[in-house]
Amino acid sequence: MLFFRMPFTYIEDLAQHEGETITLKGWLYNKRSSKNIHFIIVRDGTGLCQCVVHQDEVDEASWDVAEEIAQEGALAVTGTVKKDERQVGGYELQATGVELISASEDYPITPKEHGVEFLMDRRHLWLRSRRQWAAMRLRNRIIMAIHEFYQSRGFIQMDAPVLTGNAVEGTTTLFDIDYFGEPAFLTQSGQLYAEAMAMAHGKVYTFGPTFRAEKSKTRRHLTEFWMIEPEMAFYDLEMNMDLAEDFIVDVVQTVLDECEEELEVLERDLEPLQRVQKPFPRISYSDAVELLRSDETAEMMDAREASLHEEEEALKQERKDNQKEYGQAKKWRKRQIDAREIEINQRLNEIEEELRNLPQWKESARTFEWGNDFGGSDETILTWHFDRPIIVHRYPAAVKAFYMKRDPEDDKLALGMDVLAPEGYGEIVGGGQRADDLGFLKDQIEKHDLPEEAFEWYLDLRRFGTVPHSGFGLGLERTVAWLGGLEHVRETIPFPRLLGRLSP
CB of 198 to RNA, least distance (A): 17
Question: Is 342 a binder of RNA (CB under 7 A)?
Answer: yes
Residues in 69-98 at the binding interface with RNA, rule: CB under 7 A: 70-71, 84, 86-88, 92, 94
Maximum pairwise Cα distance, the chain: 86
Work out which of 268, 393, 405, 478 binds RNA, going by CB under 7 A. Answer: 478
CA 111 vs. chain centroid, Å, equals 23
Distance between CA atoms of residues 344 and 316, nearest Å: 8
The beta strand positions in 114-268, using DSSP E, are 156-157, 163-164, 176-179, 182-186, 203-211, 224-233
Give yes or no for residue 498 binding RNA (CB under 7 A).
yes
Q: Which of residues 25-64 bind RNA (CB under 7 A)?
A: 30, 32-37, 39, 41, 50, 52, 54
Instruction: Report residue 213: phi and psi, to 5°.
Output: -90, 25
Q: Which of 13, 16, 45, 118 binds RNA (CB under 7 A)?
A: 118
What part of residues 204-263 is at the interface with RNA (CB under 7 A)? Answer: 212, 214-223, 225, 227
Residues 285-314 contacting RNA, CB under 7 A: none
Region from 157-165, 350-358, 386-394, 452-460 binding RNA, contact rule CB under 7 A: 350-358
Q: Minimum CB separation from RNA for residue 339, in Å? A: 5
Residue 166: φ, ψ to 5°: -145, 155
Contacting residues for 234 by C-beta, under 8 A, at least 6 apart: 202, 467, 468, 469
Q: How many residues bind RNA (CB under 7 A)?
A: 87
Map the footprint of RNA across residues 142-201, applying CB under 7 A.
169, 171-172, 189
* Listed ranges 179-187, 277-285, 387-395, 496-504: which one lies at the site for RNA (CB under 7 A): 496-504
- Report the nearest approach of RNA to the CB of residue 4 (Å): 27
Give the 3-state DSSP-derived string for 60-109, with helices as H, strands as E and coil as C.
HHHHHHHHHCCCCCEEEEEEEEEECCCCHHHEEEEEEEEEEEECCCCCCC
373 binds RNA (CB under 7 A): yes
Cis check for the bond before 468: say yes or no (omega within 30 of 0): no
Q: Which of the stretches 6-14, 242-250, 456-464, 470-478 binds RNA when contact is defined by CB under 7 A?
A: 470-478
Closest approach of RNA to the CB of residue 356, in Å: 7
Cis omega (within 30 of 0) for bond into 504: yes
Q: Which stretch binds RNA (CB under 7 A): 178-186, 343-351, 403-411, 443-451?
A: 343-351
- Does residue 488 touch RNA according to CB under 7 A? yes
Nearest residue to 443 via CA among 487, 406, 389, 470: 406
Under the binding rule (CB under 7 A), the answer on residue 353 touching RNA is: yes
In the complex, minimum distance from the CB of residue 200 to RNA, in angstroms, rounded to a whole number:
23
Q: Closest separation between CB of residue 100 and RNA, Å?
A: 15
Q: Answer yes or no whether residue 376 interacts with RNA by CB under 7 A.
A: yes
Separation CA 81–CA 16 (nearest Å): 10
The residue (of 258 and 501) whose beta carbon lies closer to RNA is 501
Q: Is 18 among the residues that bind RNA (CB under 7 A)? A: no
- Strands 282-284 and 390-396: what pairing? parallel
- 447 contacts RNA (rule: CB under 7 A): no
Residue from 112, 324, 447, 463 that binds RNA (CB under 7 A)?
112
Applying CB under 7 A, among 244, 283, 429, 486 the residue interacting with RNA is 429
State the Cα–Cα distance between residues 41 and 21, nearest whole angstrom.
Answer: 18
The least CB distance from residue 465 to RNA, in Å, is 27
From the number of C-beta atoms within 10 Å of its C-beta (0-12, 13-18, 19+), residue 55 rates as middle
Quote the least distance from Cβ 376 to RNA, whole Å: 3
Stretch 408-427 residues interacting with RNA (CB under 7 A): 418, 426-427
Q: How far apart are CA 461 and CA 68, in angstroms?
A: 68
Label residue 481 exposed, middle or buried (CB < 10 Å: 0-12, 13-18, 19+): buried
Closest approach of RNA to the CB of residue 2, in Å? 25
Stretch that binds RNA, among 116-124, 152-160, 299-307, 463-471 (CB under 7 A): 116-124
Say if strands 48-54 and 91-102 run parallel, antiparallel, or are unpaired. Answer: parallel
